[in-house]
Amino acid sequence: MHVVITGANRGIGAALHSRYRAAGWQVTATARQGAEFLPLDVTDPESQRAMAHALDGKAVDLLICNAGTYPDKHQNLADGYPAQMWADTFATNVTGVFMSVQALLPNLQMSHTPKLAIIASQMGSSTRAPGGSYVYRASKAAAINLGRNLATDLAQLDIAVGIYHPGWVRTDMGGDAAAISTDQSADGLVARIDALSMDTTGRFLTWDGHDHPF
C-alpha cells in the first residue's frame, strides 16, 4: 500500500509518516524542504506538477492532505489580518488541498481502494464562532466544504473522502498548552482513515471517532 502525505516534515504529518512506515506502507512524504522528502510546495502549480511527474505511473492508495498554516493567532480586528495573509493562508489550506488532489487523481484511480484524507479543524465548523483567528477559521471552513464536495464528485470514481479534526495537538501550531500529543492524534487519525469507506465518505470526524457538525 502506498500513502502520500503532504506536510510530513513536522507535527501531525511527521507522526503519520512514522505510523504508516512502521505499518509497512510505502510512504511518500512531502515537504517544502529536506533531503528525505519529496519536494512539494502545495501552493505552487509547478511544484505540484513536479510531484505528479515523480509519481507518474505509481498507484496511490491514500492521499493525506495535511500541509497547513495558521498565521493569524495574534492578529487584532482593528488593524490586523492583512490581505496577503488571507491569500497566503487560503493558498495553502484550501487551494493547496485541491491542487494536490488534482495532481494525484490519476494515481488514486490506479488503486483498488483509493482514499483521500483532508486534515481540517473544528475551528472551521459553523457551530463554533468564539471570534478571532478569522483567516484560519475561514480557510478551514472552506477546506471542510471542499472535502464535502470532493466526496460527491469522487464517489463516481469510488474514491472515499474523509475530513478530520485532528484534535488540539501539542505542535508548533497548537502550542504547548494543547490537549493531546501528536502520537495520540496520529493514532486516532490512522484508525479513522483505516475505517473510511464509500459507505462513510464525506463525513467530518474527530480524531477519536466522533461525528463533528459541519
Domain parsing of the chain, residue ranges? 2-206
Contact 32, 199 (CB under 8 A): no
SS3 (DSSP) at 211: strand
Is residue 179 predicted with pLDDT exceeding 80? no
- Name residue 204's beta-bridge partners: 163
pLDDT in tens, 23-79: 999 999 999 999 899 999 999 999 999 999 999 999 999 999 999 999 999 999 999
Is residue 174 predicted with pLDDT exceeding 80? no
182 band by pLDDT with thresholds 50, 70 and 90: confident
In angstroms, rounded to a whole number, what is the distance separating the alpha carbons of residues 29 and 3?
A: 8
- Spell out the residues 6+ positions from residue 64 whose beta carbon is closer than 8 angstroms to its own: 3, 4, 5, 6, 13, 16, 117, 119, 193
pLDDT in tens, 118-154: 999 999 999 989 999 999 999 999 999 999 999 999 9
- What would the DSSP string read from start to end of 72-114? -TT--TTT-S-HHHHHHHHIIIIIHHHHHHHHHHHHHHTSSS-
- Spell out the residues 6+ positions from residue 178 whose beta carbon is closer than 8 angstroms to its own: 167, 168, 169, 170, 171
In angstroms, rounded to a whole number, what is the distance separating the alpha carbons of residues 195 and 209?
A: 10
175: left (phi over 0), alpha (psi -120 to 50) or beta: left
Average pLDDT estimate for 99-115:
98
CATH class of 2-206: alpha beta
Average pLDDT estimate for 6-21:
96
Q: Residue ranges of the alpha helices (H) in 112-213?
A: 134-154, 182-195
In angstroms, rounded to a whole number, what is the distance separating the alpha carbons of residues 1 and 28?
A: 11
Is this structure's pTM higher than 0.85?
A: yes
Is residue 175 predicted with pLDDT exceeding 70? no
pLDDT in tens, 159-173: 999 999 998 887 666
26: cell is 510505502
